[in-house]
Structure 1
Amino acid sequence: MPSTVTSRRRQLGNELRRARIAAAMTQQDVAELLACGQGKVNKIESGAVAVKMADLNRMLDAFGAAPSEADLMRDLARANTSQRGQWSGYRSAVPQWFRTFTDLEPAASEILSWHGERIPGPLQSEHYMLTQFGENRSYDVTSLLRNRLDRKQVFDLPRPPAYRFILGEGAFLRIPGGQKPSVVLDQLEHLLDLERRYPKVSVHVLPFTARLAHIPNDFTLMRFADGTRDFAFVEHVAGGLYLDDQDDFELFVDAWDKLRGAALERSDSVDHLQKLADEHRAEIDF
């Protein structure tokens, strides 16, 4: 999988966390070593901020890191400071907390995404996007559209992640701007085209009749093969949460498994989407 600035930063943070714990040191111990707050050490270990080489060397000396481990962490730190994130050019349109998500997308080995009443960005057709941005009265529609289209490049990577989506049946009813047959049809045809073109993209529909105790809020799981810590991402009105605690992550995996077990199989989902597309096409022709 391709490495990104964000994935390398998170990988470095994971390595530093492991080395600190092996040295029986706390984050507060490291904060005193670096003459900073414990919050900064936490951000370094979570990959939220870069670490200066001088501070890294102080930590490696204090941890007693083996030469091979120290070399790996120095290489990761140098790569982080020499490049900018892929999405840094979209600062005016996309918040920093979400640029972290999009920077990690191409580095993942598997992405599991659940959305109950909306079509997620990578799956949106251009007509759907423009309608959504128009309803939001977004001030920079051009940048938003370009960013959303650029994200779709993840499907065309030489080794793309296995990107698996579960969409609630309500996602095809809760359309930006209300039920517009032309927007719905364009979105449905786009999904069917993605299914045909990309074998590693799968869409499963969760019908209203699914037998589940409850429906969780939208979330996405990312798994990595390069040492980056797996995490669950939950978006909310004020930002997004990145949850990489193993116990928390496993709870989301369990929720995904229940949704997947109740959703239609891939071929049945394609048939369902095709039937909806035919119904909306007939409505437009009429």
Structure 2
Amino acid sequence: MPSTVTSRRRQLGNEIRRARIAAGMTQQDVAELLSCGQGKVNKIESGAVAVKSSDLRRMLDAFEVPESEADVLLDLARSSGGRRSQWSGYRSAVPQWFRTFTDLEPAASEILSYHGERIPGPLQSEHYMLTQFTENRAAEVTSLMRNRLDRKQVFDLERPPYYRFVLGEGAFHRMPGGANASVGLDQVEHLLDLEQRYSRLFVHVLPFGVRLPFVPNDFTIMRFSDGTKDFVFVEHVAGGLYLDDEDDFELFVDAWDRLRGAALERHETVDFLKRWEERFQAELMPPS
């Protein structure tokens, strides 16, 4: 059975437990060190609660963890609960099952994302996302819009992840709510602008006519260079699955390699988008 993704907080808890055991200490010993109950220590080690940096420092000193390793764990603590994410003000609009994804997105070193018939959130233009939320009769359109716009800040980080998308050609035929040249034109122009502005953002279109045995469901692979475990996120109508089992992960990497190998190159995708730009512009021209 696929395992659930190891979040940063869970990973930190595992590291604390390992260091405690290596030091020959019990949870009760740590509880006395921190002047708290043994139950809280258990919750810290299981990832159920965040740990204060000051408490973590006291534990690491007691466990005699080398300074270089301690610094890594302190950074992990700060990013797993010690500070608010850049879009935490709008978390009420984000489903619980998607929050791990949005929390870890800025920390990834590489993100590989496939979407067959829709434009994914980070690439959506404002017109596209507004139409999508309105058509879905969302109750918190303003919060959803702000959250999605804030997610785009991942591209403006000092060192953003390499973010590579493969988009099925169907995503350009199927606009939210049905055929809509105005939405389509805004979206295509937005993609062309992103392509010019961000050197670590790559968009590749998968044409209908490519030779593939099948195309999978939408999925996203996240890789990390800071010790966080790599995982795959598979979204479905009732939520999402986080898979970090190595065999499962490799299956999705193989699927990604097939899709990427069949997709257009970057310059070919730009030409594809410009053709769609012309098509939408023609549809919007008044009849002569």
- TM-score, with normalisation over the residues of structure 1? 0.80
Aligned pairs (5 A) from 1:185-264 = 185-264=185-264
Q: Deviations over 1:216-259 (max 9, x none)?
A: 10000111111111111111122221112222211111110000
Partners in 2 of 1:196 and 1:77 — Cα distance? Answer: 36
Unaligned residue ranges in structure 1 (runs of 5+): 1-5, 24-33
2:162 aligns with 162
Distance in structure 1 (CA, Å) of the matches to 2:218 and 2:205 = 14
Measure how far apart 1:21 and its partner are.
10
Verify the 8 A CA contact 1:127 1:186 in the aligned structure 2. Answer: yes
- 2:211 alignment partner, SS class: coil
Corresponding residue of 2:91: 91
How far, CA to CA, are the matches of 1:154 and 1:145 in structure 2? 16
Letter of the structure 1 residue corresponding to residue 106 of structure 2: P
Amino acid at match of 2:204: H
Whether the aligned pair in 2 keeps the contact of 1:10 and 1:229 (CA below 8 Å) is no
Partner of 2:144: 144
Q: CA deviation at 1:280?
A: 1.3
Alpha-carbon distance in structure 2 between the residues aligned to 1:263 and 1:256? 10
Query: How high is the sequence identity, in percent, across the aligned residues?
Result: 73
In structure 1, the residue matched to 2:278 is: 278
Number of aligned positions between the proteins: 266
Distance 1:72 1:265, change over 3 A: closer
> Tell me, what secondary structure is at the counterpart of 1:221?
strand
Secondary structure, aligned partner of 2:205: strand
**C-alpha separation between the residues in 2 aligned to 1:192 and 1:78?**
36
Please report how far the alpha carbon of residue 161 of structure 1 lies from its aligned counterpart in structure 2 after TM superposition.
Answer: 0.9
Q: Distance in 2 between matches of 1:77 and 1:238?
A: 31
Distance 1:71 1:201 in 2: 30
> Contact conserved, 1:7 with 1:107, CA < 8 A, in 2?
no
Question: Matches of 1:204 and 1:139 in 2, distance apart?
Answer: 33
Matched, 1:128 2:128: yes
Looking at structure 1, the residues matched to 216 and 20 of structure 2 have their Cα atoms a distance apart, in angstroms, of: 35
The 3 A distance-change label for structure 1 pair 124 and 35 is: same
Question: What is the alpha-carbon distance in structure 2 between the residues aligned to residue 52 and residue 110 of structure 1?
Answer: 29
Q: Does the 8 Å contact 2:9/2:81 carry over to 1? A: no
Q: CA–CA distance in 2 between the matches of 1:49 and 1:244?
A: 22
Q: Which residue is 1:102 aligned to?
A: 102
Is the 8 Å Cα contact of residues 14 and 46 (structure 2) preserved in structure 1? Answer: no
Match of 1:29 in 2: none
Q: 1:79 to 1:273 in 2, by over 3 A?
A: closer
Q: Which moved more, 1:94-103 or 1:200-209?
A: 94-103
C-alpha contact (below 8 Å) 2:211/2:262 kept by paired residues: yes
Q: Distance in 2 between matches of 1:41 and 1:255?
A: 36
What's the C-alpha RMSD, in Å, of the aligned pairs? 3.3
Structure 1 counterpart of 2:29: none
Q: 1:113-168 CA distances to partner (integer Å, 9 max, x unpaired)?
A: 00001000000011101100110111111111111111111111121111100000
